[in-house]
Structure 1
Amino acid sequence: MSADRFQATYLIETPLDPERVADVMAGEQSCGTFTRVQGETDELRERARAVVEGVDELEAVDRPSLPNAWLERQGRAGPWRRARVRISFPADNVGANLPTLASTVAGNLYDLGETTGLRLEALRITPGYRKRFDMPRAGIAGTRRATGVAAGPLVGTIIKPNVGLSAGQTAALVDRLCKAGVDFIKDDEVCANPVHAPLAERVPAVMRVIRDHRQRTGKVVMMAFNITDETEAMLRHAELVEREGGNCVMASLNACGYSAVQTLRRATPLALHGHRNGYGALSRHPQLGISFQAYQLLWRLAGVDHMHVHGLQGKFSQSDDEVVESARDCLAPLAPGLDDQVLPAFSSGQWAGTVPATYGAVRTDDLLFMSGGGILAHPDGPEAGVASLRQAWAAARAGISLPDYARDAQELRRALEFFGSR
């Protein structure tokens, strides 16, 4: 891949010759269409056309993964050939335009008549191209500085109930969670600016509690307010959080879109917590959509600081291997020689019992470990829930099993008894 190109890797399925299909893909997403047109000179094609860098054919299957009326009209039958296709694109076709980059690598390709399956598996960019886009403002190091957590995982939680609490009730819960010893608190993705707890009331009420906690203890708790909204409204919400002394906001990335998140990033110095809700619709089918590696790369170009990866042994559909790979993607630079890693945020059914698998897989403390029920539903209260998580991490780092460590750690023992039996 030359210095002025980016490369996309796809998994395709087709009854046609995969090399021919790869050539169609390259043409459709650069300067071509289904037939050569006037003005599509050799010089223009040399300068602007995408290039097929490789086609590796895989095992064929007997049935198509997805329906395709275009192929049906032609009476095309199997076998349905699968292949891994690598295509590079001239960076100057796109420039520093994130929505167009996404449209190039993950746009009309999904509708191609030649395929019964197409998935964007990976994206590679050069250091020079990466520098044209926004970098994280906080990332891992900045989040640690903001919270005062120099070592160890950041322990976080989510406001529960998800929605329904008033501004005052939310502040009271945040007060209790701060006293319990968490490093990070976030709104749920379905609670942004509800009538019963509008941000105009919720932010001042919550930040008053957080400021008081800091004055009493010296500890800064990072609160990610969900400001998902229209772009101009998000900017107003972020300004409110900043005025009240906050240090983080959250946005539902898929719902807001690339341009809105870029605008937000450039307008606020606050840490930007990227929530990926809706990603499952883009990823769960193995022959359709986008892998997390490519997905998180695009959003990191928008300048997010934290990315959700779900959790090991959690309540969602992703395998543990996929969760671990997603975390490693976040912890890797987008291009060689850069320091632009973002903090992977683990959540979904996490509690002390899922800590050993998490630490054993990622072997790092550079993560945000969020536990809702694992803290708030601990039988001895949220303080004990937080303590059980920290005890579990200490055990995992020391290579001691949780039952053995729990002999001298009451909070962990109670968590194992309560959650382990459910």
Structure 2
Amino acid sequence: MRRDYVDQGYSPKDTDMVCEFHIEPAAGVSFEEASTHMAGESSIDSWTEIATLSPELAAKLKPHVFYLDEEAKTVRVAYSEELFELGSVPQVLSAVAGNIFSMKIVDNLRLQDITFPKAMLKEFKGPNFGLPGVREIVDVQDRPLIGTIVKPKVGLTSEKHAEVAYNAFAGGCDLVKDDENLTDQKFNGFEKRAELTLKLAKKAETETGERKMYLCNITAPTCREMVRRLNVLKDLGASYAMIDIVPAGWTALQTLREEAEDAGLALHAHRCMHSAFTRNPRHGVSMLLVAKLCRLIGLDQLHIGTVVGKMHGEKSEVLALRDQCVLGSVPADPSQNVLAQDWGGLKPMFPVASGGLAPTMVPDLYSIFGKDVIMQFGGGIHAHPMGTAAGATACRQALEASLEGVSLEEYAKGRKELEAALEKWLKK
């Protein structure tokens, strides 16, 4: 008979890793039975009774299901840190987000959050630059940063890509990045694109007197190739690299974090593909946990959603992600399935609001996020009636209006770029 791990009198130790799950048992399975099977499968148990683990070790390493709320379908499990390779995100996920999703005794299962104990935090460096370091790189301290993605996503030659990036820089963007599906295609090779775009970024710096950052996508088939591309950027004088975090995988991210520190480059995390397992509120893994793992590993900035743009994400969810990026200690919030987390001094990540944004949304973005956000526009810059440079200028003008507490309509007087943006995008 399988062990019973339900122990509602247990108080988690400082050395325990605590996980919160949403769990829906299959027909005929009790809530407690499903919970104890899930806890066992994610730690020391098997599908049948075995005698290879000593009673002493079983008592020491067994999980504790210390909180059950059947009405809310919420379970919290405390795991001994000794069950884990402390510096390995892949191993941790293989345990608490591995086979358990395939169990027949649950219809739905979702890993909502993990609280990492101090011993585990100490095995990770966190961001090398993070929010404060990125501000130093860009030399902007007191306002949100303005960024864009070169559009269209793919199809431009290296030369045309660099030209679009230059226009965005010249118009007022602090950062220009590749999109998620642009890597090293025949029509736009990685090395040529990087060389040309970084050259024009320097030109824009000279002309504007502002720092301009190009975030080139180094996502590749192997870690070896991604590290090579990282070093190509270093040799070209770049300050940044971009990585598609979910397709690349956790092992790649941990490798790149180490290599990026040696190269002196910041890492921009694009979260494409995350909704394949984060969007269903009843099954999978939460985006909240993805954000926490990115900070743990040490990405410097991360897409978190916009609230007002085209991507999925309610305001409360997006702000919970923002908190995991920027706060030193995150309080528990049961309404958002957030466990308390003291980050132990790990640097904050710079949150990025991206997806369907236009200059007209800047006041709302500033109201929602404050100054510590990267406002990243795509079509909202490149579809401007006067072109890319004017689109970037309109975003900067909208930001200036927000910082000064002036309405966009008032600030647009005498500023043709913002005026044209309002004409195109402002709801009547």
How does the TM-score come out when normalised to structure 1?
0.89
Aligned residue in 2 for 1:393:
399
Comparing 278-287 and 11-20, the one that deviates more: 11-20
2:235 maps to which of 239, 243, 259: 243
* Aligned sequence identity (%): 30
1:35 maps to which of 33, 48, 51: 48
2:345 maps to which of 332, 338, 346: 338
Aligned residue in 2 for 1:187:
178
**Matched letter for residue 193 of structure 1:** D
Give CA deviations for 1:322-361 in whole Å, capped at 9, x if unaligned.
3333223222345244242111111111112222322222
**CA–CA separation in structure 2 for the residues paired with 1:150 and 1:274:** 21
Aligned residue in 2 for 1:83:
73
**Matched letter for residue 121 of structure 2:** R
- Residue 109, structure 1, aligned to residue 100, structure 2: yes
Aligned residue in 2 for 1:226:
217
**CA–CA separation in structure 2 for the residues paired with 1:47 and 1:157:** 52
Give CA deviations for 1:28-71 in whole Å, capped at 9, x if unaligned.
1111112331122221112222211210121xxxxxxxxxxxxx
Aligned residue in 1 for 2:308:
313
Aligned residue in 2 for 1:266:
258
**CA–CA separation in structure 1 for the residues paired with 2:286 and 2:172:** 35
Kept in 2, the 8 Å contact 1:293–1:326? The answer is yes
**CA–CA separation in structure 1 for the residues paired with 2:186 and 2:418:** 39
1:14-413 map, 5 Å: 14=25, 15=27, 16-58=29-71, 83-94=73-84, 95-229=86-220, 230-268=222-260, 269-333=264-328, 335-362=342-369, 364-407=370-413, 409-413=415-419
2:19 maps to which of 2, 5, 8: 8
**CA–CA separation in structure 2 for the residues paired with 1:201 and 1:336:** 40
Gaps in structure 2 of 5+ consecutive residues? 1-11, 329-340
Kept in 1, the 8 Å contact 2:148–2:381? The answer is yes
Kept in 2, the 8 Å contact 1:275–1:308? The answer is yes
**CA–CA separation in structure 2 for the residues paired with 1:116 and 1:401:** 50
**CA–CA separation in structure 2 for the residues paired with 1:384 and 1:171:** 17
**CA–CA separation in structure 1 for the residues paired with 2:399 and 2:95:** 42
Gaps in structure 1 of 5+ consecutive residues? 59-81
Alpha-carbon deviation of 1:216? Answer: 4.2
Kept in 2, the 8 Å contact 1:123–1:293? The answer is no
Kept in 2, the 8 Å contact 1:147–1:183? The answer is yes
How does the TM-score come out when normalised to structure 2?
0.88
Aligned Cα root-mean-square deviation (Å):
1.9
Alpha-carbon deviation of 1:385? Answer: 2.1
**CA–CA separation in structure 2 for the residues paired with 1:273 and 1:284:** 22
Comparing 383-392 and 291-300, the one that deviates more: 383-392
**CA–CA separation in structure 1 for the residues paired with 2:307 and 2:244:** 22
**CA–CA separation in structure 2 for the residues paired with 1:87 and 1:354:** 41
**Matched letter for residue 389 of structure 1:** C
Kept in 1, the 8 Å contact 2:19–2:77? The answer is yes
Comparing 268-277 and 397-406, the one that deviates more: 397-406
**CA–CA separation in structure 2 for the residues paired with 1:374 and 1:173:** 14
**Matched letter for residue 338 of structure 1:** G
Aligned residues: 398
**CA–CA separation in structure 2 for the residues paired with 1:415 and 1:215:** 27
